[in-house]
Amino acid sequence: MAQARIFATLSTRALKEQIYGHRIVEYQNYLWYQGHAVCLGLARVPGRPRDPATGSFLDIISSLAGFEPGSGHTWVVTERHEGSSWRPKQAVEKKAPPGPASPMGGQDLGDGAWGYYRPERQTDFLLMVHPWGSNALVLAQIVNAGKTGDQKGQRIERGSQCALCFRSLTAHAADDEPCLFHPGAKDLIDSDSSASEASDDEMVDSYPDSSAGSSEIDDDAHDEVLVYRCCGRRGDAAGCTAETRHMPIQSGRVREWRRSWIRCT
Ligand SMILES: [Zn+2]
Ligand SMILES: [Zn+2]
């Protein structure tokens, strides 16, 4: 079973103390106005990051403490997805940030500006940029953790399901474990069509009773599969996004943010 291991985090305040961190803070301000979080799938490949002063988003990331790809290596983007933040806004974060409302001095961070894009590479790392919350920037590694994670997750205790990955949480897991999950809703699509062709009517409730639920549906509908909107992966695939902790479900805003998540590259 794949799990997330948190590799590095930076708060907005810590970002401002780094040489090029202010450019990430500018981008974070832009996300604040959108209410959006962004997740990049990353792979670490041989090469060298370019000068962060003139380079791409990932070249800036590579200059931050704890986010360096390592000697002789560079980050490449394997996928990008974006949607509404799942983090609740705290009182202090409801005021507009002091910085600009557009990222990187007004530059559009569209195609190409993120860094080299190699869709065929395996995604080993995930980079999340958040509009608010204690960690503005989170770098997670995807690791294969064997069976132990499953067993922990199946112990049911009252009021302790994760709003992100839907696992039942023990108090211990809720405190200590990072969460690997899909932020997007699931669509039921024909196996030979793409996720983007599915309509809202076909959207499937994203609350599985257990991890076995989705595969049962797959078996019954021979030419239809469940696919996550966030990344286009099948319903039983390991998560494409990570958070530093599981987030116990609280009443209210559980599902709304999921509808906006889409795959951008
Ligand atoms: Zn996904
Ligand atoms: Zn979780």
- CA nearest neighbour of 206 among 159, 239, 175: 239
SS (H, E, C) 90-129: CHHHCCCCCCCCCCHHHCCCCCCCCCCECCCCCCCEEEEE
For 29, phi then psi, to 5°, come to -60, -45
Global model pTM greater than 0.85: no
**Distance of alpha carbon 16 from alpha carbon 7, whole angstroms:** 20
**pLDDT of 145:** 76
Ligand 2 centroid distance, CA of 106 (Å): 35
Ligand 1 centroid distance, CA of 95 (Å): 30
For 60, phi then psi, to 5°, come to -70, -45
Question: CA torsion sign, 167 to 170 to 171 to 175?
Answer: negative
Collapsing DSSP to helix, strand or coil, 41 comes out as strand
Ligand 2 centroid distance, CA of 89 (Å): 19
All structural domains of the chain with their residue ranges? 2-142, 148-263
Which residues, by Cβ under 5 Å, contact ligand 1, an ion?
A: 182, 228, 230-231, 240
One digit per residue, pLDDT tens: the chain, 265 residues?
899 999 999 999 999 999 999 889 988 999 999 999 999 999 999 998 888 888 889 999 999 999 999 999 999 999 999 999 999 988 888 888 887 777 654 455 544 588 888 887 788 999 999 999 999 999 999 998 775 544 444 444 555 788 999 888 877 766 678 999 999 999 888 876 554 444 444 455 444 444 444 444 444 546 788 999 999 999 989 999 999 999 888 766 667 899 999 998 7
Q: Judge whether 114 and 129 are in contact, CB under 8 Å.
A: no
Ligand 1 centroid distance, CA of 239 (Å): 6
Ligand 1 centroid distance, CA of 81 (Å): 8
Task: Please identify which residue in the block is written with the tokens 């969460």.
Answer: 179
